[in-house]
Amino acid sequence: MVRAVLAAGNIGPKWLYWPWVTSHLGEIRSRLTEHVELTFLAVGFGLLIAVPLSLMSSRFRRLYGPVLAVTGALYTVPSLALFALLLPITGLSRTTAVIPLTAYTLLILVRNIVTGLDAVPADVKEAAAGMGYSRARQLLRVELPLAMPAVVTGVRIAAVTTIGLVTVTALIGQGGLGQLLLDGFNRAFRTPLTVGIVLSLALAVLTDLVLVGILHVTTPWRRPVGRRSA
C-alpha cells in the first residue's frame, strides 16, 4: 500500500498535495459535517443533563459532592475504553460514540454552571424575591442570565475538548475528521493527515469564537458601551 502511493509520483511524504484536496472536497465536507454533528449532539445532550444537575447541586448542596464524584469518575475513564465497554450493548453505532462524548462534557459543564450560579450576589436574589418573583422566575430571569459568563465558559471548554475527542470515534467507524487522520496514517499519505489536523484546529477556534460572540450578544449588560445608568 505504501509503495503503491509512493510509486504514484512520490506524493506520500508531501504534507499537502493539493490535487488530492480538490478531488476529495466531497469527502472532506462529509467528514467535517460528521465531526460537527457529533460535537453538537454531545454538548447538546451534555447541557440537557448538566443544567438540571447543576440547578439541583446549587440548591441542595449535599448533592454537589456526589455529582462531582460521579461525573469525575466518568471523565477519568479513557474514551477508547468507554467505547469498548459500550460496544456489546450499542454496537458500532453513533450511539456508542455519543454516550461517552456526552459523559465527558458533564464534569466541565456542571462545575462551571454551579460556579456561575454560586457567584450570583445574595442581595440580587433578595431583591428579586422582594419584587415578588417566584422561585422559577427568579431562576430564569435573574440567576441564569447572571451566570451566563460561567455557563458559556463551560460550554466553550466542553466544545473544544469534545472536538478533540471526536477524532477518536473514527476508530469505531463513526467518521469525523479522525477518519482523515487514520487514512493518512494507514496509507502513509500525509495530505489527509494535514487536512484533518488543520480542520479540527480551525473548527475548535471557530467554535470558541462563536461562543464568545453568543455570550456577547446574550449579556448586553456586560458591555461597557451604551450602558444606561439606573
Partner 1 sequence: MFSFLNNVGAFLTDSAHWHGQESIPNLFLQHLQLTAVSVLAAALLTLPLGVALGHLHRGGVVAVNIVNIGRALPALALLILAVQWTGITPPSGLLSPVRSLPAFIAMVALAAPPMLANAYVGVVTVDDEVVEAARGMGMSGFQVLRRVELPIAVPLIMAGIRTAAVAVVATATLAAYVDAGGLGRYIVDGFAVQDDVKVFAGGLLVALLAVAVELTLAGTQRAATSPGLRLAGRGGSRADAPVVAPAHGSLA
Summarize as ranges the residues that interact with partner 1 (CB under 8 A). Answer: 68-69, 72-73, 75-85, 87-88, 107-108, 111-112, 115, 153, 157-158, 160-161, 163-165, 167-168, 170-172, 178, 181, 184-185, 190, 193, 196-197, 200-201, 204-205
Q: How far is the CB of 160 from partner 1 (least distance, A)?
A: 5
CB of 80 to partner 1, least distance (A): 5
Q: In this structure, what DSSP letter does residue 173 have?
A: T
42 versus 128: smaller Cβ distance to partner 1: 42
Nearer to partner 1, 109 or 128 (CB): 109
DSSP structure class, residue 229: P
* Beta carbon of residue 132, minimum distance to partner 1 (angstroms, whole number): 35
Identify which of residues 96 and 138 has a Cβ nearer to partner 1 in the complex. 96
Secondary structure of the chain: what % helix, strand, coil (to 5)?
80, 0, 20
Rounded to whole angstroms, the maximal C-alpha distance in the chain is: 79
Q: How far is CA 105 from CA 41, 55, 126, 132, 165, in A?
A: 11, 16, 32, 36, 11
From the list 197, 216, 194, 193, the residue with the least C-alpha distance to 205 is 197
128 or 190: CB nearest partner 1: 190
Min CB(197)–partner 1 separation in Å: 5
CB of 79 to partner 1, least distance (A): 7
- Provide the minimum distance between the beta carbon of 22 and partner 1 in the complex, in angstroms, as a whole number: 23
Place of cell 487514520: 182
The 3-state secondary structure of 13-40, one letter per residue: CCCCCHHHHHHCHHHHHHHHHHHHHHHH
**DSSP string for residues in 122-149:** HHHHHHHHHTT--HHHHIIIIIHHHHHH
CB closer to partner 1, 44 vs 65: 65
State which residue, 31 or 111, has the beta carbon closest to partner 1: 111
